[in-house]
Amino acid sequence: MIPLIAVLHIENARWHMPRLWIPLILFWIPVILILILLSPFIVIVLLALSLFGGISAWRVITVFWDILCSLPGTNVHVTANGNRIQVRIL
Amino acid sequence: MNENRRQILEMLAAGKITADEAERLLAALESEPAATVGDFNGSIAGSRGWSETPVRTHAKYLRVLVQADETMTGMKGPTTVNVRVPMQLLRAGVRLASLIPPQAQEQLDEALNRHGVPFTVSQIKPENLEELIDHLEDLTVDVDGNDGNATKVRVFCE
């Protein structure tokens, strides 16, 4: 399933930001609209890759879709120089 | 709660293992230094009663922990990096290598060999990744810094 929420938390010695729960659906909707607008060009590129590059267009789409759907569960937490940053993808 | 503990409790709730077995497994987890992934033999309730059936736990995440003190980094306070990446993401990423056209793969291999890297791009396959995961146990790398200070890098699956 595509990631739906990202949690961002930043803090340092001076200030403390509350955890931001970012609904990624707000990001996916414009991306989908842009993809729809650019779809003719995308189809041409994929066809060219398929004909001249020997790469299956369907495989390209499935690999990138798999990568996108595998993102939930990613967690990055960095503490350095008194600052803390945490990013979680749910 | 770590992933192994949760799996044990889920199996207990589903009736796949008894409470005694769950207790033994939890105790084994606590005593092992890096018990993350592995096989265990447990009794599983089936239609014909209890039977000894090996149950394999599969790693779901790759964790990378880096700890460096301020003398190593030059920054105020210790530096820690804690990254958890789903295994599914790694498997999907490995499939990216299959998108490279064969002609480009050959050129990449030649370039890598010329620079002394004995590695072929065609070796990057999902089954090789599974083998790597199977062999990847708790790995700790100590990097010696100045004045005897060290940075710890720990890579493990859970």
pLDDT digits (tens, 9 = 90+) for B66-117: 888 777 667 677 788 999 998 888 888 888 777 777 777 777 778 877 777 7
pLDDT at B39: 40
Tally the residues of chain A.
90
Which member of A54, A63, A66 has the closest CB to residue B102? Answer: A54
Mean pLDDT for all residues in chain B:
70
pLDDT at B40: 42
More confidently predicted of B1 and B140: B140
Query: Within an 8 Å CB–CB cutoff, is residue A46 touching chain B?
Result: no
How close, in Å, is residue A32 to chain B by CA atoms? 21
Average pLDDT score over residue span B108-128: 73
pLDDT tens track for B13-38? 877 777 777 887 887 777 655 444 44
Say if CB A89 and CB A20 are below 8 A apart. no
Check CB contact under 8 Å for A75 and B93: no
Average pLDDT score over residue span A74-88: 89
Phi and psi based region of residue A10 (left: phi greater than 0; alpha: psi -120 to 50; beta: remaining): beta
ipTM of the predicted assembly exceeds 0.85: no
Q: How far apart are CA B152 and CA B64, in angstroms?
A: 10
Name which of A77, A85, A86, A87 to mutate to probe chain B: the one with the most chain B Cβ atoms within 10 A of its Cβ. A77
How close, in Å, is residue B59 to chain A by CA atoms? 13
Residues of B within 8 A of A75 (CB-CB) are: 82-84
Q: Which two tokens stand for residue A5?
A: 């929420």
pLDDT band at A77 (very low <50, low <70, confident <90, very high): very high
Model confidence at B49: pLDDT above 80: no
How close, in Å, is residue B105 to chain A by CA atoms? 12
| CA B119 to centroid of chain Cα atoms | 22
Strands (E), chain B: 39-46, 49-56, 61-68, 79-86, 139-144, 150-157
pLDDT tens track for A27-76? 888 988 998 999 999 888 888 878 877 777 788 888 888 899 999 999 99
Average pLDDT score over residue span B40-57: 43
